[in-house]
A and B are shown apart, each in its own frame.
Chain A
Amino acid sequence: MIAYLVRRLAWMVFVLMGVMTLVFFVSRVIPADPIAAMLGGQAPPELVEKLKAKWDLDKPVIQQYIIYLYRLSQGDLGISIASGRPVMADLLHYFPATFELATAGTILSIFFGILLGVISAVKRGSFIDHVARVSALLGVSMPVFWSGLLMLLLFYYTLGWLPGGGQLPYYMSPPPRITGLVTIDSLISGQFSVFVVALKHLVLPSLVLSFFGTAAISRITRSSMLDVLREEYVTTARSKGLSEGKVVMRHALKNALLPVITVIGITYGRLLEGSVITETVFSWPGLGRYATNAFLALDFPAVVGSSMFIALLYAVINLIVDISYAYLNPKIRYH
Chain B
Amino acid sequence: MRSRSLWFAVLGMVGFLFAGFAQTPKDVLIIGMSHEPIIDFEPARVYEFEGGFVLEQVYDQLVNFVGGKEAFEKIVPGLAESWELSEDGLTWIFHIRKGVKFHSGNPVTADAVVFSLRRSLTLAYPPVWIIQQFIPSPEMVQKIDDYTVAITMNQQVGEMLMAAVLGYQGICSIVDPAVVQAHATPDDPYATKWLAEHDAGSGPFMLKEWIRRDRIVLEAFPDYWRGKPALRQVIIKDIPDPASQKLALERGDIDVAWNLLPEMIADLKAKGQMKIIETPSWSFHYLAMNVGYEPLSNVKVRQAIRWAIDYDAITKGILGGAAVKCHTFVPIGMFGHLDLYYYQDLEKARELMREAGYENGFSVELLTRTDPPFPDIAAQIKEDLKKINIDVKVTIMTYSELLKIYRAQQHQMVLVRWGVDYADPSAQAIPFAHCETTGPEAKVKQLAWRNKYVSGVTAWVEQATGELDVRKREIMYKAIQAIVLEEGPYAILYSPLTQIAARKVVQGLEIPPMWYYTELFSVSKTG
Contacts and interface: CB of A to CB of B under 8 A. Distances in A.
B272 interface: no
B126 A47 contact: yes
Interface stretch (B183-191, B205-213, B306-314, B500-508): B205-213
B209 A42 contact: no
A37 interface: yes
Contacts of A152: 244, 247
Nearest to A51: B126
Q: Is the interface of B mostly helix, strand, loop or mixed?
A: mixed
A166 B126 contact: no
Contacts of A157: 247, 250-251
A41 B214 contact: no
B17 A42 contact: no
Interface in A282-333: 282-283, 285, 289-290, 293, 296-298
B159 interface: no
Interface in A157-181: 157, 160-167, 169-171, 173-174
Interface stretch (B220-228, B411-419, B472-480): B411-419
Contacts of A203: 17
B272 to A, nearest CB: 18
Contacts of B253: 163-164, 169-170
Given A199-B17, A293-B36, A42 B400 contact: no
A241 interface: no
B17 A167 contact: no
Interface string A113-153: 00000000000000000000000000000000000010011
B128 to A, nearest CB: 9
A82 interface: yes
A262 B240 CA distance: 34
A13 B182 CA distance: 44
B188 to A, nearest CB: 13
B406 interface: yes
A185 B192 CA distance: 29
A149 B404 contact: no
B240 A280 contact: yes
Interface residues of A, number: 55
Nearest to B427: A42
A22 interface: no
B217 A173 contact: yes
A160 B251 contact: yes
Contacts of B212: 83, 93-94, 285
Interface string A29-47: 0111110110111111101
A44 B214 CA distance: 32
A196 B16 contact: yes
Q: Which of A93, A163, A170, A289 has the most chain B CB atoms closer than 10 A to its own CB? A: A170
A43 B25 CA distance: 42
A281 B30 contact: no
A55 interface: no
A84 interface: yes
B290 to A, nearest CB: 15
Contact of B403 (A37, A174, A280): A37
A165 B25 CA distance: 18
B24 A37 contact: no
Contact of B404 (A36, A43, A51, A285): A36
B211 A174 contact: yes
A162 to B, nearest CB: 7
B244 A281 contact: yes
A164 B248 contact: yes
B20 interface: yes
B264 interface: no
Interface string A188-230: 0000000010011001000000000000000000000000000
B239 interface: yes
Contacts of B20: 160
B28 A200 contact: no
Contacts of A36: 400, 403-404, 407
Contacts of B16: 196
24 contacts: A31-B404, A32-B404, A36-B403, A36-B404, A41-B403, A41-B417, A43-B126, A43-B129, A48-B407, A51-B126, A149-B244, A156-B251, A161-B18, A162-B18, A164-B247, A166-B237, A173-B209, A173-B217, A200-B18, A283-B240, A283-B241, A285-B214, A289-B213, A298-B398
Given A157-B247, A289-B36, 5 more contacts: A36-B400, A42-B431, A163-B21, A163-B253, A283-B240
